[in-house]
């Protein structure tokens, strides 16, 4: 990753410096400045296990699997007995944990089902990393991310969501492979040589442990947030060694799973040892938790280990076993040892960390801070009026389905208020059906933690009240109040063009922000001219400040990337804040110099582009015509592009071409896999759509394309699915060809 010194322009603009007092960047604030009088603001380490059940730790009753390190933290710290994830499966749970919104409001409410774009975060989905980074924390996520596509420079990338350091899996699906051939490091994939060619030389969670320790060492003298997300003990039960369970008489999957849990415990021990080695144990809060209840996949038997403890249900269930999870908080000298039965959902994490760091948090979140419990307090922390969950998942596992009497594929909701817990099931996947079509169950957790007795008939008024809370907790499109800094620029920049760059600083907190100062940094050879600035002197809650610049990209450049960096410093409650927004653009390849097949050109950008010619986003490295030819109705075409919706592939024409022609449809190979595929193909010239195929199906054959692209700088090929549930949507552009304006050159 290039350093700032390599790419930042000497003519960078400090905007408004003469009118407003300079404010030190938050990163320059002494580490010892606390969130309250006399209290040092802590480092934070959050360790999130993957599918670790409530009963799989010794501190929560486990008697077979060994977890001595975590058990010691529980004994020396605060153990929560009534802690909850925000969902019974990975993606919605983790989204809520990051953003402080329950699954009736959060951006991600389902698992991806093979499409990472369906669980992508966006600008405005403020994470706890963004909040702490504004207060000068160095931030890292190491391990499983699980949101958005395998693509750098987009809003769902961890670097765009507040984590300045990322090492691990980008997508949910890739995290199921413990021996990956490559892992993401910030904006690039890095090979794991030990795993090349399918070898099992490097166990990814071990690599995450090592990177976490390196991060602690590198930032031991400044405040830091480390979000460590190893993908254990998720299925498969793959682990380098089944020690210390080699001699157990259990099936292989069960031995492997137990070894994964104990290995997780070892990672916790290694991180704590690193903190102690650098004298950071007393100034760091360590949180250990899980994203949902225990799985039963890959032949693992959770009942062998009583993985859900006294609770009913497993991963995917909204009963307690699917959503009640371990939560342990440890910081010697800061956190008082003991237990807490406060109903604590992981939505509480963002406001808690914000308060501990002395940072303003978004005011439109569902979580409530428990900082008083983690900062030396001996009292209690206010709890939410109720906790809400939603579930709609395509996965079906035997035990989870049996617990629900065969209703695992239905939409379901749950609410806990005080000791009451209601769960209800829709007749199908549509949650908008009338209330009288749902099946409602009610449990009294005060006397029935195992949810063995449905008391809805005995307490209809309670059931009705909780159903009302469920109904009111869901918002189809939860409109977030803007928070923090947003940099608006075109997705693609071209040489010789002048663009408008806009900065918006939105105060979505409850505090007044004052003394704003802006700085825009661009590549050295760009021309930058300020246009407007308004509102940065004093920003009250709910208001935004705005600034605009005109930037001109030079006609010629030797740069391989064009980075933009925008920084705004201000104060809130007397404490400095520093917001940063970054975008990195890639200069376009040269436009065609003659008539050309698109398969002979290098694309400018691609989402879901694949073979037979372009194998991945490294296209241009393979010659056209390689791989299996594209075939429609038995007719083969050697030149072409394959895509999987949603797909966008963009080429730089530079105004040099006059026509684009192709044949687009669901190819024979894809049709043989499944004949239900149906998609819509579009062609865009710059910002104008010039072709729409309507619905394409294998049975109806492909469509010819022949459109005028005269003067167009960009050609964009788009494929989107025609029906929401369709996943059989592989599509091909055969003989995709552009005709040059001057064919004699």
Q: Is it the case that residue 726 has pLDDT exceeding 60?
A: no
* Burial class for 383, CB neighbours closer than 10 Å (0-12, 13-18, 19+): middle
Q: Please say whether the beta carbons of 678 and 722 come within 8 A.
A: yes
Q: Please say whether the beta carbons of 623 and 165 come within 8 A.
A: no
Q: Is it the case that residue 33 has pLDDT exceeding 80?
A: no
> Which residues sit opposite 553 in a β-bridge?
none
CB contact burial 160-198 (16+ within 10 A = b; e otherwise): bbbbbbbbbbbbbebbbebbbeebbeebeeeebeebeee
- The percent helix, strand, coil of the chain (3-state, each to 5) is 20, 30, 50
* Burial class for 221, CB neighbours closer than 10 Å (0-12, 13-18, 19+): exposed
How long is the chain? 745
- Whether the ω angle into residue 212 lies within 30 degrees of 0, i.e. cis, is no
pLDDT digits (tens, 9 = 90+) for 218-257: 999 999 999 999 999 999 999 999 999 999 999 999 999 9
- CA distances to 14, 344, 565 from 17, rounded to whole Å, are 6, 44, 17
How much is the pLDDT for 376? 74
How much is the pLDDT for 332? 97
How much is the pLDDT for 38? 46
pLDDT digits (tens, 9 = 90+) for 609-619: 654 333 343 33
> Which residues sit opposite 79 in a β-bridge?
328, 339
pLDDT digits (tens, 9 = 90+) for 618-632: 333 344 444 456 788
Report d(CA 147, CA 397) in Å as an integer. Answer: 23
| pLDDT-derived band at 728, boundaries 50, 70, 90 | low
pLDDT digits (tens, 9 = 90+) for 319-328: 999 999 999 9
How much is the pLDDT for 299? 97
Q: What is the mean pLDDT of residues 494-509?
A: 96
How much is the pLDDT for 491? 87
| pLDDT-derived band at 23, boundaries 50, 70, 90 | very low
How much is the pLDDT for 506? 98
Q: Is it the case that residue 729 has pLDDT exceeding 70?
A: no
How much is the pLDDT for 13? 32
pLDDT digits (tens, 9 = 90+) for 97-125: 999 999 999 999 999 977 788 899 999 99
With CA atoms as reference, report the closest residue to 503 among 159, 122, 123: 123
How much is the pLDDT for 641? 73
Q: Which tops the pLDDT comparison, 31 or 365? A: 365
β strands within 233-380, DSSP E? 284-290, 327-330, 338-340, 344-345
How much is the pLDDT for 20? 27
Q: At what angle do helices 252-277 and 204-218 cross, to 10 degrees?
A: 10
With CA atoms as reference, report the closest residue to 288 among 86, 15, 50, 490: 50
Q: Is it the case that residue 336 has pLDDT exceeding 70?
A: yes
| pLDDT-derived band at 30, boundaries 50, 70, 90 | very low
| pLDDT-derived band at 639, boundaries 50, 70, 90 | confident
Max Cα distance, the chain (Å) = 86
| pLDDT-derived band at 725, boundaries 50, 70, 90 | low
Report d(CA 715, CA 740) in Å as an integer. Answer: 13
How much is the pLDDT for 611? 40
- Cut 0.75: pTM above it: yes
How much is the pLDDT for 42? 97
Q: Residue by residue, what is the 3-state secondary structure of 373-441?
A: HHCCCCCCCCCCCCEEEEECCCCCCHHHHHHCCCCCCCCEEEEEECCEEEEEECCCCCCCCCHHHCEEE
Q: What is the mean pLDDT of residues 71-90?
A: 98
| pLDDT-derived band at 607, boundaries 50, 70, 90 | confident
Report d(CA 183, CA 129) in Å as an integer. Answer: 21
Q: What is the mean pLDDT of residues 404-422?
A: 98
Q: Is it the case that residue 200 has pLDDT exceeding 60?
A: yes
How much is the pLDDT for 39? 60
Q: What is the mean pLDDT of residues 436-443?
A: 98
- DSSP, collapsed to helix, strand or coil, labels residue 684 as strand
How much is the pLDDT for 678? 84
pLDDT digits (tens, 9 = 90+) for 129-154: 999 999 999 999 999 999 998 888 88
Per the prediction, the chain carries an average pLDDT of 90
Which ranges of 235-309 does DSSP label H, i.e. alpha helix? 252-277
- DSSP, collapsed to helix, strand or coil, labels residue 205 as helix
Q: What is the mean pLDDT of residues 143-172?
A: 94
H or E element that contains 741? none
């Amino acid at each position: 990753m290039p350093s700032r010194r390599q790419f930042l322009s000497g003519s960078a603009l400090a905007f408004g410096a003469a009118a407003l007092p300079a404010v030190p960047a938050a990163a320059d604030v002494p580490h010892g400045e606390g969130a309250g009088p006399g209290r040092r603001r802590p480092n934070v380490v959050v360790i999130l296990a993957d599918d670790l059940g409530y009963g799989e730790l010794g501190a929560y009753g486990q008697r077979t699997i060994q977890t001595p390190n975590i058990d010691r933290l529980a004994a020396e710290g605060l153990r929560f007995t009534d802690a909850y994830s925000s969902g019974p499966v990975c993606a919605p749970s983790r989204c809520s944990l990051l953003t402080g919104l329950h699954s009736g409001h959060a951006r991600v409410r389902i698992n991806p089902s093979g499409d990472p774009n369906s669980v992508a975060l966006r600008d405005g989905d403020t994470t706890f990393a963004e909040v702490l980074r504004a207060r000068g924390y160095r931030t890292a996520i190491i391990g499983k991310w699980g949101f958005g596509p395998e693509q750098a420079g987009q809003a769902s990338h961890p670097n765009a969501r507040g984590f300045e350091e990322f090492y691990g899996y980008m997508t949910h699906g890739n995290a199921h492979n413990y021996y990956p051939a490559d892992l993401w490091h910030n904006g690039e994939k890095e090979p794991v040589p030990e795993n090349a060619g399918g070898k099992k030389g490097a166990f990814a969670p071990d690599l995450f442990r090592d990177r976490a320790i390196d991060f602690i060492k590198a930032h031991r003298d400044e405040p830091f947030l480390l979000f460590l997300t190893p993908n254990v003990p998720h299925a498969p039960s793959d682990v380098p060694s089944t020690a210390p369970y080699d001699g157990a008489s259990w099936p292989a999957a069960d031995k492997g799973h137990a070894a994964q849990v104990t290995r997780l415990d070892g990672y916790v021990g290694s991180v704590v040892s690193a903190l102690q080695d650098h004298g950071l144990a007393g100034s760091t809060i360590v949180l250990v938790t899980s994203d949902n209840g225990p799985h039963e996949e890959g032949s693992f038997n959770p009942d062998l280990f009583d993985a859900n403890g006294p609770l009913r249900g497993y991963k995917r269930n909204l009963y307690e076993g699917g959503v009640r999870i371990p939560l342990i908080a440890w910081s010697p000298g800061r956190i008082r040892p003991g237990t807490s039965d406060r109903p604590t959902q992981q939505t509480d994490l963002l406001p808690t960390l914000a308060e501990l760091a002395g940072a303003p948090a978004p005011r439109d979140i569902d979580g409530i801070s428990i900082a008083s419990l983690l900062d030396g307090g001996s009292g209690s922390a206010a709890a939410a009026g109720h906790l809400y969950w939603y579930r709609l998942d395509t996965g079906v596992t035997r035990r989870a389905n049996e617990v629900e009497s065969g209703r695992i594929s239905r939409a379901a909701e749950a609410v806990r208020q005080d000791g009451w817990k209601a769960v209800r099931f829709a007749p199908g996947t549509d949650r908008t059906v009338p209330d009288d079509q749902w099946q409602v169950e009610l449990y009294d957790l005060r006397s029935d933690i195992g949810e063995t007795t449905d008391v809805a008939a005995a307490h209809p008024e309670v059931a009705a009240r909780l159903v009302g809370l469920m109904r009111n907790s869901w918002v189809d499109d939860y409109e977030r109040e803007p928070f923090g800094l947003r940099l608006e620029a075109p997705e693609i920049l071209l040489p010789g063009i002048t663009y408008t760059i806009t900065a918006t600083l939105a105060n979505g907190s409850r505090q007044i922000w004052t003394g704003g100062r802006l700085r825009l940094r661009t590549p050295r050879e760009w021309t930058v001219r300020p246009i407007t600035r308004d509102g940065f002197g004093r920003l009250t809650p709910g208001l935004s400040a705005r600034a605009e610049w005109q930037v001109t990209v030079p006609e010629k450049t030797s740069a391989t990337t064009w980075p933009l960096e925008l920084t705004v410093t201000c104060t809130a409650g007397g404490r400095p804040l520093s917001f940063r927004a970054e975008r990195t653009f890639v200069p376009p390849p040269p436009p065609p110099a003659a008539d050309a097949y698109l398969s002979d050109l290098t694309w400018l950008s691609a989402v879901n582009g694949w073979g037979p010619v372009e194998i991945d986003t490294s296209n241009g490295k393979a010659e056209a015509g390689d791989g299996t030819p594209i075939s429609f109705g038995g007719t083969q075409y050697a030149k072409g592009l394959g895509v999987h919706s949603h797909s966008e592939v963009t080429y730089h024409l530079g105004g040099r071409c006059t026509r684009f022609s192709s044949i687009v449809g669901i190819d024979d190979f894809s049709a043989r896999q499944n004949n239900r595929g149906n998609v819509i193909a579009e062609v865009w010239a710059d910002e104008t759509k010039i072709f729409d195929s309507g619905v394409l199906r294998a049975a109806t054959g492909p469509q010819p394309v022949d459109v005028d692209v005269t003067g167009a700088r960009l050609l964009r090929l788009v494929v989107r699915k025609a029906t929401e549930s369709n996943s059989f949507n592989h599509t091909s552009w055969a003989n995709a060809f552009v005709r040059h304006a001057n064919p004699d050159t």
